[in-house]
Amino acid sequence: AAVVRLEDYRPTDYAIDTVDLDFRLDPTATQVTASLAVRRREPSPTQAENPPLILDGDGLKLKQVFVDGRTLSADEYEATPNRFTLHTPPHEPFTLKIVTEIDPENNTALMGLYRSSGVYTTQCEAEGFRRITYFYDRPDVLAVYTVRMEAPRAGTPVMLSNGNLIQSGPVDGSDRHYAVWHDPFPKPSYLFALVAGDLGSIHDEFVTASGRRVRLGIFCEHGKEERCRYAMDALKRSMRWDEEVFGREYDLDVFNIVAVSDFNMGAMENKGLNVFNDKYVLVDAETGTDMDYAHVEGVIAHEYFHNWTGDRITCRDWFQLCLKEGLTVFRDQEFSSDMRSRPVKRISDVIGLRQAQFPEDAGPLAHPVRPTAYREINNFYTATVYEKGAEICRMLKLVLGDEGFRAGMDLYFERHDGGAVTIEDFIECFAEATGRDLTQFSLWYHQAGTPKVTLSHTYDEKAETLSLSLAQELPRTPDNKPKEPQLIPLSFGLVGPDGQDLSWEDVDGPAALGEAGKDALGRGLILLSDKEMNLTFRGVRAEAVPSVLRGFSAPVHLEADLTDDDLFFLARQDTDAFNRWEALQSLARRAILSGYQTLASGGAASFDPRLAAAFAELAENTDFDPAFRALALALPSENEIAQLIAKDVDPDIVYETRQALAGFIGEKSAERIVEAAKREPAMPAYSPDADNAGRRALTFAAWRYQIAAGKARGQDEGTQVRRSFETATNLTERLAALRLLVHENLTGSSAALDAFFERYSDNPLVLDKWFAVQAMQPGHETLKKVEALTQNPAFSWKTPNRVYSLVRTFGAGNPTAFNRPDGAGYHFLANAIADLDKSNPSVASRLATCFRSYRLLEPGRRTHAEAALRALADRPDLSTDVADIVIRTLG
Ligand code: DPP
Ligand code: ZN
């Protein structure tokens, strides 16, 4: 497929003001009648012929076409499966009526209208609407939709679409019935949705700040209704929060959510009718983990928040995807921070960023948050657009302050409501509302790659000055563009000997401190805008350790000239919780990196005992909530370490080094850590709240060290874990125990796997976890197990959740097995991608991204991975989705 370029954007010749859709639902032959009110945007001089009207299609079968009720003759139009052309449209506004026939049952791509488990569902973002009818399938064509659907009452009692239900009833003289939905808000085609089937539901009500009563519904498979309660609660909290924090009220009489089991993505924000992958709706103590609760809450909020950031104000074109996604992720992160612990949420998000976005930004698939070209838009629903996009909004708030940010948001909502806009429009609102020049700040949207910031510092005791030298470096990315320095906000403090932040009298250097030199939390704020910058703080009364990038104030790599002593000090003393965690992580990273080099050159790794003590101390520190301490006990991931090594990586040695460090900390400190976890008050009944969840997480983090210590001594320390597996009263504990048993290869692991399967054999979402646990078992042998699991009757290549849990987990979450030295892991994945591509290209191309970091590997593995990729690239008939990823990955 051709490359689409931002610079080629131009509006359509015609506007489509209303869309009336009529669906005669049938599993294999659904008839779709679309009546479009079309008019020329800019009337042409009366004599001149109107330009042709060209609409998008994708695999469509045209049955009939009319203009203003008149059947067209064959020479007046041309219809191929992928395009409809009306050669000479009338000058006056006209109605174009198009009848197509589609086959939902055999729509395995799960884009457009499809049917799974007997339920009709749609997924139209980004370009699925064109698989339903011919249309201007692009986000800047906004129309008012009225949708009528008709189906047999038996088997299809529920019929939903966007907006409000305005009519329904039996179809005379038949066993069929119909429903008509009307959405008064003009919207782009990607937000259209329809759901029809035999579904259970729960209902509730929300009264908005201005008194509008909204009926809320969540629909799911029969028998799963009770598992929707938490999602309903999260929805109501989201609705309230958006009123309180962003001043945004809901605008329709109805808000419905549908949970479906076959869904490519997480969820979809269709106006008034959100459609969800059921894993982000269904949750209870027996079938969902603490993490699942948090995800349900976050995704429910995310899709709801899109109502304003996405639906009421949408994107002009798909290059602007981050306009809605980055901003909406930022909003859902803020919501979760308010619902739970802010530092814990921030740390989790940064772990996610380092796990998913930094590697993308450092590899062949790197792209700016606002890209300028794409071959396949489906491939741009990336961590960069979403997570780095959210980081930009967070920085904007930091740089402008809370009030400035809110003023900009208010202006954005007021000015662009009902519009389809660009990132420039968004940024302009903040510039205008605050009078700030955001030109340099905007580079965050346009330059790919993670900036590297270096910091060195000196203290002059006599002069009482502390000098900081800062520099930024922007890496080269696949676009090879020369880069300008970015505006990097660095929250910081100067930590004095007693752990309190020292003040200073004045600062020498460019006007580099944020407005008042402080961020919204009262921390110092440096705006690093040049390539290099020197700052001298005067009147610093004692020697201080700079604590920089507090709260992870910018998505950068920071290299500071801090000694291990400095880091131990910060890990103990920093008033910024994030940097306490980060200091300990930095020490662990240093330890693993140097251990890796030693092991790689045939030596035996040794570690600093102070590190083990620091871990114990943090575990014991009850100033922090248990969730924070649990996070602080986790070592940097193998993938994170591989990214830092960056060259000739041997994943087996990475794994070994990381295990060795865990064993070392365990031997020295497991007892203290386990005792600390035990001292937490016992939990009454299971509750998914952050405090309870944190205590469970702390216990398992402690056991991990106990087991690691046992292993280092050659003993099986799995007794408690086995007991916990047997006596667990909730899935969180049962699964955490299973994971430890399997990943640490402890006695009883296979019996536990069998028991778990038995218990949950009728629950696909829990079985996904069973597949994932096994797919992540370290070691070369796991490949065989994964291959065998693809034959398990509970596995299906047709269901995205199954494929993700087994195959993507293997490719993205198991470095030692996927990167087997013989390359068999790569060939397994490449074959899976090729097979899957025939039925579901979106899922196949997501699997293909597992290869994105192959160039970091040592030459043997690199060669194997490249061979697997080349073999894939040579396959005939690859989808655009997969071809695009493979070609870019090979570079
Ligand atoms: N727009 C969806 C989301 O909420 C993805 N398809 O991210
Ligand atoms: Zn979204």
Q: Is 428 in the pocket of ligand 1 (CB under 6 A)?
A: no
Centroid of ligand 1 to alpha carbon of 750 (angstroms): 38
Output the CA torsion sign for 703, 705, 708, 709: negative
**Closest ligand to residue 139's CA:** 1
For atom 3 of ligand 1, the residue with the nearest CA is: 268
CA distance linking residue 530 with residue 729, whole number of Å: 56
Sorted by sequence, the CB contacts under 8 Å of residue 203 that are 6+ apart come out as 215, 216, 217, 218
The two three-digit tokens of residue 795, written as one number? 């596995």
CA distance linking residue 735 with residue 759, whole number of Å: 12
- Same domain, yes or no, for 461 and 386? no
- Same domain, yes or no, for 371 and 420? yes
Q: How confident is the model at residue 513 (pLDDT cuts 50, 70, 90)?
A: low
Q: How confident is the model at residue 509 (pLDDT cuts 50, 70, 90)?
A: confident
- pLDDT for 1 equals 77
Q: How confident is the model at residue 508 (pLDDT cuts 50, 70, 90)?
A: confident
Centroid of ligand 1 to alpha carbon of 273 (angstroms): 13
Centroid of ligand 1 to alpha carbon of 61 (angstroms): 28
- Same domain, yes or no, for 382 and 507? no
Q: Which atom of ligand 1 is nearest to the CA of 123?
A: 6
CA distance linking residue 449 with residue 365, whole number of Å: 10
Nearest to 37 by CA among 20, 23, 49, 22: 20
pTM of the model: 0.98
- pLDDT for 212 equals 97
Over residues 557-596, the pLDDT tens digits come to 999 999 999 999 999 999 999 999 999 999 999 999 999 9
- pLDDT for 506 equals 86
For atom 2 of ligand 1, the residue with the nearest CA is: 268
pLDDT, mean of residues 649-667: 98
Q: How confident is the model at residue 521 (pLDDT cuts 50, 70, 90)?
A: low
- pLDDT for 369 equals 98
Please report whether residue 361 resides in a domain.
yes
Q: How confident is the model at residue 42 (pLDDT cuts 50, 70, 90)?
A: confident
pLDDT, mean of residues 488-506: 94
Q: What share of the chain is helix, strand, coil (3-state, %, to 5)?
A: 45, 20, 35
- Same domain, yes or no, for 441 and 472? no
**Closest ligand to residue 125's CA:** 1
- Same domain, yes or no, for 435 and 510? no
**Closest ligand to residue 330's CA:** 2
Over residues 154-204, the pLDDT tens digits come to 999 999 999 999 999 999 999 999 999 999 999 999 999 999 999 999 999
Over residues 77-115, the pLDDT tens digits come to 999 999 999 999 999 999 999 999 999 999 999 999 999
Please report whether residue 878 resides in a domain.
yes
Please report whether residue 152 resides in a domain.
yes
Which of 323, 325, 380 to probe ligand 1 with, by most ligand atoms within 8 A of CB? 325
Centroid of ligand 1 to alpha carbon of 664 (angstroms): 43
Pick the last residue of a domain from 198, 228, 244. 198
- Same domain, yes or no, for 436 and 463? no
Q: Look at residue 66 and tell me whether its pLDDT is greater than 80.
A: yes
| 864, 823 contact by CB (below 8 A) | yes
Average pLDDT over all residues of the chain: 97
CA distance linking residue 664 with residue 875, whole number of Å: 48
- Same domain, yes or no, for 407 and 505? no
For atom 5 of ligand 1, the residue with the nearest CA is: 268
Q: How confident is the model at residue 684 (pLDDT cuts 50, 70, 90)?
A: confident
Sorted by sequence, the CB contacts under 8 Å of residue 256 that are 6+ apart come out as 160, 216, 217, 218, 219, 272, 273, 274
Q: What is the 3-state secondary structure (H, E, C) of 377-428?
A: HHHHCCHHHHHHHHHHHHHHHHHHHHHHHHHHHHHHHHHHCCCEECHHHHHH
Question: 224 φ, ψ to 5°?
Answer: -110, 10
CA distance linking residue 271 with residue 19, whole number of Å: 15
- pLDDT for 587 equals 98
For tokens 């579901």, the residue is 840
Q: Which atom of ligand 1 is nearest to the CA of 386?
A: 7
For atom 1 of ligand 1, the residue with the nearest CA is: 268
- pLDDT for 682 equals 85
Which of 110, 257, 303, 332 to probe ligand 1 with, by most ligand atoms within 8 A of CB? 303
Centroid of ligand 2 to alpha carbon of 332 (angstroms): 10
CA distance linking residue 737 with residue 718, whole number of Å: 9
Q: Is 125 in the pocket of ligand 1 (CB under 6 A)?
A: yes
| 364, 855 contact by CB (below 8 A) | yes
pLDDT, mean of residues 293-313: 98
- pLDDT for 683 equals 83
Q: Is 332 in the pocket of ligand 1 (CB under 6 A)?
A: no
**Closest ligand to residue 266's CA:** 1
- pLDDT for 256 equals 98
CA distance linking residue 15 with residue 140, whole number of Å: 10
Q: How confident is the model at residue 44 (pLDDT cuts 50, 70, 90)?
A: low
Pick the last residue of a domain from 561, 592, 607. 561
- pLDDT for 522 equals 64
Q: Is 323 in the pocket of ligand 1 (CB under 6 A)?
A: no
For tokens 């071959």, the residue is 375
The H or E element spanning position 18 is strand 14-24
Over residues 546-564, the pLDDT tens digits come to 999 999 999 999 999 999 9
pLDDT, mean of residues 854-873: 98
Could you count the other beta carbons within 10 Å of the beta carbon of residue 188?
A: 25
- Same domain, yes or no, for 431 and 462? no
The two three-digit tokens of residue 585, written as one number? 């992580």
CA distance linking residue 323 with residue 638, whole number of Å: 32
Centroid of ligand 1 to alpha carbon of 117 (angstroms): 23
| First vs last C-alpha separation in the chain | 17
CA distance linking residue 546 with residue 549, whole number of Å: 10
Q: Which atom of ligand 1 is nearest to the CA of 125?
A: 6
Q: What is the 3-state secondary structure (H, E, C) of 571-622?
A: HHHCCCHHHHHHHHHHHHHHHHHHHHHHHHCCCCCCCCHHHHHHHHHHHHCC
pLDDT, mean of residues 859-888: 98
Q: Is 267 in the pocket of ligand 1 (CB under 6 A)?
A: yes
Q: Is 311 in the pocket of ligand 1 (CB under 6 A)?
A: no
Pick the last residue of a domain from 414, 446, 478. 446
Which of 110, 124, 268, 385 to probe ligand 1 with, by most ligand atoms within 8 A of CB? 268
Q: Which atom of ligand 1 is nearest to the CA of 302?
A: 4
Q: Is 773 in the pocket of ligand 1 (CB under 6 A)?
A: no
- Same domain, yes or no, for 515 and 391? no
Q: Is 325 in the pocket of ligand 1 (CB under 6 A)?
A: yes
Please report whether residue 884 resides in a domain.
yes
Q: Is 275 in the pocket of ligand 1 (CB under 6 A)?
A: no
Q: Is 265 in the pocket of ligand 1 (CB under 6 A)?
A: yes
Q: Look at residue 533 and tell me whether its pLDDT is greater than 70.
A: yes
Centroid of ligand 1 to alpha carbon of 300 (angstroms): 11
Centroid of ligand 1 to alpha carbon of 802 (angstroms): 20
Question: 297 φ, ψ to 5°?
Answer: -60, -45
Q: How many domains does the chain have?
A: 4
What is the rounded radius of gyration, in angstroms, for the C-alpha atoms of the chain?
28
Please report whether residue 440 resides in a domain.
yes
- pLDDT for 367 equals 98
Q: What is the 3-state secondary structure (H, E, C) of 172-197?
A: CCCCEEEEEEEEEEEECHHHCCEEEE
Centroid of ligand 2 to alpha carbon of 324 (angstroms): 7
**What's 701's DSSP letter?**
H
Which of 111, 122, 123, 125 to probe ligand 1 with, by most ligand atoms within 8 A of CB? 125
CA distance linking residue 593 with residue 635, whole number of Å: 12
Output the CA torsion sign for 276, 277, 278, 283: negative
Half-sphere exposure of 658 (CA within 13 A, CB side): 21
Please report whether residue 53 resides in a domain.
yes
Q: Is 268 in the pocket of ligand 1 (CB under 6 A)?
A: yes
Centroid of ligand 1 to alpha carbon of 885 (angstroms): 20
Over residues 784-813, the pLDDT tens digits come to 999 999 999 999 999 999 999 999 999 999
- pLDDT for 511 equals 60
| CATH code for the domain in which residue 546 is found | 2.60.40.1840
Centroid of ligand 2 to alpha carbon of 309 (angstroms): 9
- Same domain, yes or no, for 393 and 523? no
pLDDT, mean of residues 205-230: 98
- pLDDT for 261 equals 97
| CATH code for the domain in which residue 81 is found | 2.60.40.1730
| CATH code for the domain in which residue 851 is found | 1.25.50.10
- Same domain, yes or no, for 38 and 187? yes
CA distance linking residue 84 with residue 61, whole number of Å: 11
Which of 110, 189, 191, 265 to probe ligand 1 with, by most ligand atoms within 8 A of CB? 265
- pLDDT for 721 equals 97
Active site residues: 303
For tokens 């009883």, the residue is 748
Domain of 814, in residue numbers: 760-891
Nearest to 189 by CA among 253, 261, 260, 141: 141
Q: Look at residue 73 and tell me whether its pLDDT is greater than 70.
A: yes
Sorted by sequence, the CB contacts under 8 Å of residue 48 that are 6+ apart come out as none
- Same domain, yes or no, for 441 and 468? no
- What percent of the chain stands above pLDDT 70? 98
- What percent of the chain stands above pLDDT 90? 96
Helix, strand, or coil (residue 774): helix
Give the ipTM. Answer: 0.98
Phi-psi region of 377 (alpha: psi -120 to 50; beta: other; left: phi over 0): alpha
Q: Look at residue 624 and tell me whether its pLDDT is greater than 80.
A: yes
Please report whether residue 278 resides in a domain.
no
